[in-house]
Structure 1
Amino acid sequence: MNAQTERQLIAGPAGALECAIDRPTAAPVGLAVICHPHPQHGGTLDNKVAQTLARAALALGWRSVRFNFRGVGASQGGWDEGRGEIDDALAVIAAHRAPGEALLLAGFSFGGFVAASAAARLPEGEKPQRLALVGPSTQKQQVPPVPADTVVIHGEADDVVPLSATLEWARPQSLPVIVFPGTGHFFHGQLGLLKNTLVRQLQMAAA
């Protein structure tokens, strides 16, 4: 993400997992783990929306960790249809989270499904304090219910995950969805607004 980004490998359930770590200048308020979009459609930890999620977390003082799912970049293993990818996210959390440390889980597209699923699988007492999902993959994946204060952002003109699919997922939960008018799946030309909206919404959640 910048010259200060630290790259490292950690042990994962299917082999080494590649991580990119960005640290705030002051003592971090907690750990943010960012999940990238679909590995079979070019998704990596360097995806622009994943980087925007990391920048928003960093601006709020979180230590940010993006990682490549198994089989992507320097991460070992191969595509596991979402099951193993959730295990990868949980392994990254376990490797980087200090005991009792606050956790922000975030993801874009397929990564939103993984982030929500990982949050659901964490035991009580270890749940994330914050959850942020951008363009979550609500049509092709079974995204579990999420906490009421989850930040959900979706593009009105998303041609990968229809806005209607995310609204249908959110409706039974009475979960608000922030809609960017006229915006497609990858938030082209809207990354600055996306970052500012994430910062504002996550600040509100923390209040």
Structure 2
Amino acid sequence: MNVHTQKFLIDGPVGKIEVALDLPDAVRDAGAAPRGLALVAHPHPLFGGTMDNKVAQTLARTLVQLGYVTYRSNFRGVGETQGEHDNGHGERDDLLALLEHMRAQPGHDALPLVLAGFSFGTFVLSHVAQQLRDAGKTIERMVLVGTAASRWDVVPVPENTLVIHGEIDDTVPLQSVFDWARPQELPVVVIPGAEHFLHRKLHILKRIIVEAWR
């Protein structure tokens, strides 16, 4: 993502997981305390999705600027992450393993947690969030972009989740996101003229997130 991005491998349930870590400038340069931890999940690996996807990078970059120590990882079979694509089940376990690694870092065990995902990553994170909540663990907020409600079983999410979608998304139709959000009474922020990958709209995505945090 930038010259300061750290990439490394951690142990996961079926092998190594490739991770990217970005630190806020104040944390990296001055040793300041971070605002919290953030985990970003990328789009579908069988359709070219990686942790370096532009939407995933925009999510990470924005959360770093908001003060969060931000992690991304490649799903199974992508980059240096071992294993094979598991339709979101093993991927869920891998993200939970990464969360354990995040919490194990000095001083990070009790920091607020943000989960942010794009497309397939929203599906996986919805189940991660459900498991965390079932275990009595707190999530500060979720950010879901291109929520894959028409393609996978995206389970209900916390009421303060920020849901962002493109008006002319033909990969995940906007109507399917409304149908998913309606019973949860979740607002959906629509970016006019944006398709699934938010080409030329990433600056708007960033602005929506920053304004939501004010």
TM-score band, normalised by the shorter chain?
over 0.9
**1:146-168, Cα deviation, whole Å (9 max, x unpaired):** 11110000001001111011100
SS class of match (2:25): coil
Per the alignment, residue 54 of structure 1 pairs with 60
Uncovered stretches (5+) of structure 1, i.e. residues with no partner: none
Question: Which stretch of structure 1 is more off in the superposition, 140-149 or 39-48?
Answer: 140-149
Identical positions, percent: 52
Which residue of the partner structure matches residue 25 of structure 1? 25
SS in 1 for 2:17: strand
Distance 2:211 2:94 in 1: 29
SS in 2 for 1:3: coil
- Within 5 Å, which residues of 2 pair with 1:53-132? 53-97=59-103, 98-122=108-132, 123-132=134-143
- In structure 2, the partner of 1:181 is 192
Runs of 4 or more consecutive aligned structure 1 residues displaced over 3 Å after TM superposition: none
The answer as to whether partners of 1:71 and 1:79 remain within 8 angstroms in 2 is yes
CA deviation after TM superposition for structure 1 residue 59, in Å: 1.1
Alignment of 1:45 onto 2:51: yes
Partner SS for 1:77: coil
Instruction: Work out whether residues 35 and 67 of structure 1, in 8 Å CA contact, stay in contact via their aligned partners in 2.
Output: yes
1:111-141, Cα deviation, whole Å (9 max, x unpaired): 0111111011114442311110000111111
What residue identity is the alignment partner of 1:107? G
RMSD of aligned residue pairs (Cα, Å): 1.0
Contact 1:59 1:199 in 2 (8 A): no
Partner Cα distance (1:129, 1:10) in 2 = 25
Equivalent-residue separation in structure 1 for 2:124 and 2:87 (angstroms): 11
CA distance in 1, matches of 2:109, 2:64: 20
- TM-score of the two chains, using structure 2 as the length reference: 0.92
Structure 2 unaligned spans of 5+:
27-32
CA distance in 2, matches of 1:6, 1:36: 17
CA contact (8 A) 1:50 1:108 kept: yes
Q: In structure 2, what residue type is equivalent to 1:117?
A: H
- 1:149 and 1:168 map into 2 onto residues whose CA distance is 18
